[in-house]
Amino acid sequence: MNDPPKIVILVPAHNEESNIGILVAGLQKLNQHPAAKQPLFDHLLVVDDGSTDRTAAIARQNGARVIPLQKNRGKAVAFFAGAKHARNLGATVLVTLDADLQPPGFAQVKALITPLLEKREKKVDMVLGSVMFDSTNLTGQRAIRMKALEPLFRGNRKWEMLFGIRSAKPIYRVGYGLETALNQTLKNRSVVYVDFQTNRKLGIKTGLGVQHQDIVRARKILKARKKLARHLRKKRTDSAFSIQYLQKKRRQHQSRAR
């Protein structure tokens, strides 16, 4: 008789105190969902990637098992640390989610996991959840068959270089280091795409690789995010300067009136 699958959810996080509590609490509720005949997952891990805020404390308060990293090594290395811990827990399926994500629904997480549990002639090794504004191949919402990650656990040098375990940073530095590393290492595996809006399969693909258009799209998204962040910082600075200037003028006016 086959043992039941053991499912572990992994959330790499760095300075996410504003959202990690909401995400973890929302995920914990999935096991009590009315549609759940049995718990949807067995363990919830949060890898605190050298955060300088209360990310770890808030995650613990909401019931997650926290794996602390002393230094910020990046999402790919945080994923590796969490995956090793999941392997020690006997995980057969690893679900990884972005820490800044709003809590996914029961149907969404189940849609990620189900293709890995189905009996079929060619087993699926990874499921990608397609999210709006995210390049499908570079989405951070994934479910992976643990056996597919064995080369990483066995010290495969190429895999370690891709994940930045040896070089202290991933080879791909476009803002999607982990996702790109997973695509490269599992590029010859069978992959299923799931639409997070409808929770339906978009199709099955073998030979997933890092496409040039994905890299270009990722760079454009990252560039746009940085531009927006600079604009908001400048706006805050200008606003603060304007307030200080007006306050100074008001004090000068008051002193003259006296």
Domain presence at residue 2: no
Give this prediction's pTM. Answer: 0.74
32 and 65: one domain? yes
Q: Tell me the average pLDDT of the chain.
A: 79
pLDDT for position 185: 79
67 and 153: one domain? yes
Q: Which residue among 193, 210, 227 closes a domain?
A: 210
The candidate with the shortest Cα–Cα distance to 102, out of 217, 25, 45, 36, is 25
254 and 149: one domain? no
DSSP assignment letter at 183: H
Q: Which of 26-35, 148-157, 226-235 is least confident?
A: 226-235
Q: Which two tokens stand for residue 78?
A: 């945080």
Between CA 23 and CA 62 the distance in angstroms is 9
Q: Which two tokens stand for residue 47?
A: 């890898």
* Residue range of the domain that includes 257: 211-258
71 and 190: one domain? yes
80 and 189: one domain? yes
224 and 156: one domain? no
How many independent structural domains does the chain possess? Answer: 2
User: pLDDT at residue 195 above 50?
Assistant: yes
Between CA 258 and CA 247 the distance in angstroms is 17
pLDDT for position 64: 96
CA angle 61, 98, 16 (to 5 degrees): 45
- Decide if 161 contacts 172 (C-beta within 8 A): no
69 and 165: one domain? yes
Domain presence at residue 151: yes
150 and 247: one domain? no
Each residue's pLDDT tens digit, 12-43: 999 999 999 999 999 999 999 988 888 999 99
Each residue's pLDDT tens digit, 34-74: 888 889 999 999 999 999 999 999 999 999 999 999 998 88
Domain presence at residue 185: yes
pLDDT for position 63: 95
pLDDT for position 90: 95
117 and 22: one domain? yes
55 and 177: one domain? yes
64 and 141: one domain? yes
For residue 130, give the CATH number of its domain: 3.90.550.10
Domain presence at residue 1: no
The candidate with the shortest Cα–Cα distance to 74, out of 184, 203, 162, is 162
203 and 226: one domain? no
H helices of 33-133, in order, are: 55-61, 75-88, 106-117
Residue with more model confidence, 93 or 191: 93
